[in-house]
Amino acid sequence: MSTLTEAPPPLTPTAPEQKPPRKRGRWTPYWLLLPGILWLVVFFAAPMIYQASTSVQTGSLEEGYKVTWHFATYWDALTEYWPQFLRSVAYAASATVLCLLLGYPLAYLIAFRAGRWRNLIMILVIAPFFTSFLIRTLAWKTILADGGPVVGVLNTLHVLDVTSWLGWTAGDRVLATPLAVVCGLTYNFLPFMILPLYTSLERIDGRLHEAAGDLYARPSTVFRKVTFPLSMPGVVSGTLLTFIPATGDYVNASLLGSADTGMIGNVIQSQFLRVLDYPTAAALSFILMAAILAMVTFYIRRSGTEDLV
C-alpha cells in the first residue's frame, strides 16, 4: 500500500526490465550538452569566479586592479552597507509572506473552484507579464500617489497612523516609504508564487478532499491536513522564486522608495555603474550570493524537499 503523499502512478506502467539504451551513440549526450553547457560555463560560472577574484583586488580605475587578497574589502562593505543588507532581507521576506497569503487563495481558486473560468483567469495572471514590468511598476506611483484615493481611504480609516507608528509609512504618504517598496515587490513577484502553487494544487486528486471529508475532517481540517501538505512543493518553489529575485531587486526601491529604503541591489548597481568601485561592488554581490545560497539551502533542508532541485 503506497502512501497518499506519493505522486499518482503514471497511467502507463513501465516494465521494470526497461532501461535507457546505452551503447549506441555513446557520445550523443555530450554533443547535445556541449554548446549549452559551454555557454553557461563561460557566461555564468566563469564570471562568478572572475568576480570573486575582483573582490580581493585593490587599485583604481586609472592604474588598473591587482589581486592583493585584500579581504578587508568584505569587512568594509559589510560595516558600511549592513542596513541595506538587512533591509533587503526584511523587504523580500515580507513580500514573500504577502505573496503566499495573497497568492494561495487565487491558486486554489484556479485549481479547484474556477470551473470553466479557469483558462480565462490563468490568462489574466500571465498576461501582465507581457506588459513591461517597469511600466506596471510606474503605475503604482499613480495608485499610491499622495492625496490619491488609496491614500485617502487609508487615511480616513486611520490605517496610516498605525503604519506610520510602525515606521512603515511616513505621515500621510505611502509613496517613498517601505510599505510602497514591499507593495511593489509583492506585486512584481506574485505570479512567480501563483504558478508553482497552482501546478502543485492542480495535481491533487479531488477525491482526496472527499476521502478526508468522508473520514470526518471539517473543511478547515481538510485544508490543514491534506491540501496544504500536498501543495508543499509549490509553496517551497514559490517562496524561493519570490524571495531570491526580491532580495536582489533594486527597481522597486528606486521607483517607489526613497533614499531611506535603499536595498543592497541599489548599492551594487550604483557601485558598479556610477561609483565604479569594482572591488566593493564585487564583494557586495559575492556576499549577497553567498547569503542567498546559504538561506536557500537551509530552507530546502528544513522543508524536506531536496528532490525539488
Partner 1 sequence: MAFVNWFKRRMVVIAGLLTLAYLLLPNVVVTVFSFNKPNGRFNYEWQQFSTDAWKDPCGVAGLCGSLSLSLQIALWATLGATALGTAIAFALVRYRFRARGAINSLIFLPMAMPEVVMAASLLTLFLNMGAQLGFWTILIAHIMFCLSFVVTAVKARVMSMDPRLEQAAQDLYAGPFQTFLRVTLPIAAPGIAAGALLAFALSFDDFIITNFNAGSTVTFPMFVWGSAQRGTPVQINVIGTAMFVVAVLFVLASMVVGNRRNRRKA
Partner 2 sequence: MTTNQTKNQTTKNQTAAKDGGGDVRLAGISKTYGSFTAVHPLDLTVPQGSFFALLGASGCGKTTTLRMIAGLEEPSGGTVHLGDQDVTALPPYKRPVNTVFQSYALFPHLDIYENVAFGLRRRGIKSVKKQVGEMLDLVQLGEQARKKPHQLSGGQQQRVAVARALINHPRVLLLDEPLGALDLKLRRQMQLELKRIQTEVGITFVHVTHDQEEAMTMADRVAVMNAGRVEQLGAPADLYENPRTTFVANFLGTSNLIEAEVDTRSGDDVVVKAAGDKLVLPGARCSAPAKAGGKVLVGVRPEKISLTHANDAGAIPEGRNRITGRISNTSFIGVSTQYVVDCAACPEFEVYAQNIDRDARLAPGAEVVLHWNPAHTFGLDAAQDIDAGVAEGEAA
How far is the C-alpha of 206 from the C-alpha of 181, rounded, in Å?
38
Query: 278 is written with which cell numbers?
Result: 569594482
CA 162 to chain centre: 28
Q: Which stretch binds partner 2 (CB under 8 A): 8-16, 108-116, 148-156, 178-186?
A: 8-16
Residue 282 binding partner per list partner 2, partner 1, none, with a CB distance cut-off of 5 to 8 Å that depends on partner kind: partner 1
Look at the chain and count its residues.
Answer: 309
Helix (H) and strand (E) counts in the chain: 15, 2
Decide whether 113 or 224 has the Cβ nearer to partner 1. 113
- Spacing of C-alpha 261 from chain mean position: 19
Q: How far apart are CA 25 and CA 15, in angstroms?
A: 23
Find which of partner 1, partner 2, none residue 16 binds, CB within 5 to 8 Å per kind. partner 2
Of the candidate spans 69-77, 133-141, 156-164, 203-211, the one that interacts with partner 1 by CB under 8 A turns out to be: 133-141
Give the one residue of 1, 2, 19, 61 binding partner 2; rule: CB under 8 A.
19
Give the one residue of 40, 67, 153, 215 binding partner 1; rule: CB under 8 A: 40
Distance of CA 21 to the CA centre of its chain: 39
Q: Is 132 in the site for partner 1 (CB under 8 A)?
A: yes
Our CB check for partner 2 shows the closer of 16 and 29 to be 16
Whether the Cβ atoms of residue 112 and residue 288 lie closer than 8 Å to each other:
no
105 in contact with partner 1 (CB under 8 A): yes
Member of 100, 159, 163, 245 binding partner 1 (CB under 8 A) = 245
Our CB check for partner 1 shows the closer of 82 and 129 to be: 129
Closer to partner 1 at the Cβ: 167 or 304? 304
Instruction: State how far the Cα of 106 lies from the Cα of 83, in Å rounded to an integer.
Output: 34
| Cα torsion 305, 91, 192, 309: sign | negative
Q: Give the separation between CA 73 and CA 287, rounded to whole angstroms.
A: 11
Q: Using DSSP, state whether 64 is helix, strand or coil.
A: strand
Under rule CB under 8 A, residue 15 binds partner 2: yes
Our finding on whether 123 is near partner 1 (CB under 8 A) is yes
3-state helix, strand, coil in the chain (%, to 5): 75, 5, 25
By CB under 8 A, residue 156 contacts partner 2: no
| Shortest CB 274 distance to partner 1, Å | 12
Tell me how far, at minimum, the Cβ of 12 lies from partner 2, in Å.
Answer: 4
DSSP state of 167: T
Of 9 and 149, which CB lies nearer to partner 2 in the complex structure? 9
Q: Are 169 and 162 in contact (CB under 8 A)?
A: no
Q: Using CB distances below 5 to 8 A depending on partner kind, what does residue 13 bind out of partner 2, partner 1, none? A: partner 2
Question: Using the rule CB under 8 A, is 36 a contact of partner 1?
Answer: yes
**Size of interface with partner 2, in residues (CB under 8 A):** 11
Could you say whether residue 47 binds partner 1 (CB under 8 A)? yes
Q: Return all residues near 194 (Cβ < 8 A) that are at least 6 apart.
A: 103, 106, 107, 110, 125, 238
Q: From the CB of residue 55, how many other CB atoms can be counted at a distance below 10 Å?
A: 23
Q: Is 119 in the site for partner 1 (CB under 8 A)?
A: yes
Return the residue of 23, 116, 207, 302 that touches partner 2, per CB under 8 A.
Answer: 23
Which position among 87, 91, 249, 257 is part of the footprint of partner 1 (CB under 8 A)? 249
Can you give the binding site for partner 2, defined by CB under 8 A?
11-13, 15-19, 21, 23-24
